[in-house]
Amino acid sequence: MKVTDYLVEFLISKGIDQVFGYPGGVICHFMDSIDKYGSRISGHINYHEQASSFAACGYAQVTGKPGVAYATSGPGATNLVTGISNAYFDSVPTIFITGQVDTFISRGNIPIRQRGFQETDIVAIVKTVTKYATRIDSVEQVEPCLEEAYRLAISGRPGPVLLDIPADIQRAEFSPTRRPGTMAATKYSNPDVAESVDRILQLLADAKRPCLVLGAGVKQSGILGSVRDFVRQTGIPTVASMLAFDCLPTDDRHNFGFIGANGHRYANFILAKSDLVLTLGTRLDLKQVGSRRSLFAPSARIVRVDIDQGELSYGIRPDDVAVQADLKELAPSLLSALPSHYVAPPEWLSVCATIKSALAGVDEKDYHKKIRVLSQLVPTDTVVTVDVGQHQPWVAQAFRVGKSHRFCFSGGLGSMGYSLPAAIGAYYGSRRPVICLNGDGGIQMNIQELQFLYREQLPIMVVIFNNNSLGMIRHFQQMNFASKYIATTDTTGYTVPSFEKLAHAYGIGYCRVEETSDFKKLNTWDETPWIVEVCLESETVLEPKFASGRPNHDQEPFIARDLFEYLMAL
């Protein structure tokens, strides 16, 4: 059996049916094997390897199965690095396969930079942003390396792995010692999960003002149903990280928004007034808690549940209760052990509702209204991918989430250019229409993938929030450089093409939205690809935001002091 045939059979055995990549000389044998098994697995050609890596991320985010991307050696492999990093920081299970020059022309230990054409040590390059990366230099390494890569990609805290396979190894014949894919994943099990559950429930029973914080780990663990049941049964006010703002529908009465620098004011306020904060699957990074971690939920005992001991070691306060556990194990146990009579104090839920009512809409701008109107047109079973820029937190602030909406972000890495290729992967993972939200800057970073949409006629609506500027950095320059703009506006070095002409060039439908009423034009977007250009004023802002030296719930621009004092006294 050819090595690449075995590799493809392995992927198929794991239920992986979509692969993304770009052709190259030393990856042709892998491509040929994908084609050979074409009735069971599909290979998709992007127009840039970075796009392939993001497509793999999108596929993994909606399926829970590892996304797979491949590339040739040299520039093909290095073009994957951004997507690999994205998968690493956001815990996305992914397998990256790179071709390499034949072993007999590799530079080996010769003290030269390169011997074979496009020879590049991709393993050394990605070591710090993968869970596992290795070069397979013999057929004897194929089975153990492949099994180990898959195991690590999905075990514990998921993440990316990379296999670099020289062309002569790819085309080599070998006799497998076992059926592909027989090794199971290693499951993290907390032997003290029952004790941890008992402690959490006791702390909840003693709390007068409990609050639940949900993170992306809730979605990645596949236990969203259990968590929603827990919220419904306990009535605990619930907030989320930006990446998890879709865990509860917007109209759920227990949903009090997302927290952090640009989060809902009422969410941060509720944290400030809580006496117990239970976090599930969120690492509480700087965007959530601020640079002065002591200002986060200052009156609360904090209980943190995370599978990664490293994240738990980076605590908030010395009395944190750190529970290292897999949410797949803990969440059902917590729900089943919940006393039938437990319910969060109704007076606390009333206080939270008062805070939300007082602060909702304080920061609303025209673009929030447009996002809200757009969201009401989006079917509830739609996947939404969101790029990086001002529009990213705007979406979390204003989008009305339905019960079945699923959002995909580039979170930790925060990579512009993520949304369009991720939408492609998300479509093939879900076979559902996808909304792809972008800024005018981010869309240009992988704009070539519009050809993919046209080629395959995918039901993806590409929404571009166009303020004709790099809004995030323009706003930063406005605040910190006395409005001295450099390379962020159309008069200082940054320009935007005609997206209407671009749509026509790619053969894609186009709609221009200047007023919210213009969204009525959208009636066939779920059948073919569309570009929807939402026109905004150029001087957009990202508010609210953390204020230096101030408590996290006292965000800029500051609300009236009498209102602030009233809410603090509740």
Residue type, 537: E
Q: Do 202 and 242 belong together in one domain?
A: yes
Asked if 267 and 259 count as a contact pair (C-beta separation under 8 A), the reply is yes
User: Alpha helix (H) ranges present in 446-555?
Assistant: 450-456, 471-480, 499-506
pLDDT at 178 over 80: no
DSSP string, 123-147: HHHHGGG-SEEEE--SGGGHHHHHH
CATH number assigned to the domain comprising residue 425: 3.40.50.970
The residues facing 513 across adjacent strands are 534
Structural domain boundaries, residue 508: 366-535
Rg (CA), the chain: 25
Given 139, 170, 201, the domain boundary residue is 170
Specify whether 238 is located in the same domain as 303. Answer: yes
355 with 370, same domain: the answer is no
User: Do 470 and 491 meet the contact criterion of CB atoms below 8 Å apart?
Assistant: no
How does residue 527 score in pLDDT terms, banded at 50, 70 and 90? Answer: confident
| Average pLDDT, rounded, for the chain | 95
Give the CA angle between residues 263, 463, 243 to the nearest 5°. 30
pLDDT band at 419 (very low <50, low <70, confident <90, very high): very high
> Could you tell me what percentage of the chain is helix, strand and coil, using 3-state DSSP and rounding each to the nearest 5?
40, 15, 40
Q: What CATH number has the domain bearing residue 306?
A: 3.40.50.1220
Whether 77 maps to a domain, the answer reads yes
Q: Is residue 16 part of a domain?
A: yes
Q: How confident is the model at residue 216 (pLDDT cuts 50, 70, 90)?
A: very high
Residue 155 shares a structural domain with residue 224: no
342, 349 in Cβ contact below 8 A?
no
User: Alpha-carbon distance 84 to 9, whole Å?
Assistant: 23
**Is the backbone of residue 15 left (phi > 0), alpha (psi -120 to 50) or beta?**
left
Residues 377 and 342 both lie in one domain = no
For the chain, give the percent of residues with pLDDT over 70. 97
Q: Structural domain tally of the chain? A: 3
- pLDDT-based confidence at residue 93 (cuts at 50, 70, 90): very high
Which of 256, 260, 327, 332 lies closest to 289 in space, CA to CA? 260
pLDDT score of 181: 61
Residues 197 and 88 in one domain: no
Q: Where are the beta strands (DSSP E) in 243-313?
A: 255-258, 276-280, 301-306
Is residue 204 domain-shared with residue 238, that is, in the same domain?
A: yes
- Cα–Cα distance for residue pair 384/397, rounded to 1 Å: 15
Interatomic CA distance for residues 159 and 157, integer angstroms: 7
The answer on 202 and 165 residing in a single domain is no
**What is the predicted pLDDT for the residue at 188?**
60
How far apart, in whole angstroms, are the C-alpha atoms of residue 262 and residue 187? 35
Give a yes or no: residue 184 inside a domain: no
In a domain, 545, yes or no: no
Please tell me the predicted confidence (pLDDT) of residue 186: 64
Is 446 domain-assigned?
yes
| 338 and 413 both lie in a single domain | no
Whether residue 563 is contained in a domain is answered as no
How far apart, in whole angstroms, are the C-alpha atoms of residue 275 and residue 256? Answer: 16
157 and 102, same domain (yes or no)? yes
Q: CB-side exposure of 399: number of CA atoms within 13 Å?
A: 32
Phi, psi torsion values for 146, nearest 5 degrees = -65, -45
Examine the domain organization and report whether 474 and 516 are in the same domain: yes
> Residue 184 — very low, low, confident or very high, per pLDDT cuts 50/70/90?
low
Residue 285 lies in a domain: yes
- Last residue in a domain, options 332, 359, 386: 359
Distance between CA atoms of residues 542 and 479, nearest Å? 11
**pLDDT higher than 60, residue 201:** yes
Residue 294: band (very low, low, confident or very high) from pLDDT cuts 50, 70, 90: confident
In a domain, 188, yes or no: no
Residues 371 and 297 in one domain: no
Least confident window among 148-162, 390-404, 515-529:
515-529
Domain closes at, from 359, 394, 418: 359
Looking up tokens 């008062």 gives: 354
DSSP-derived 3-state class of residue 412:
coil
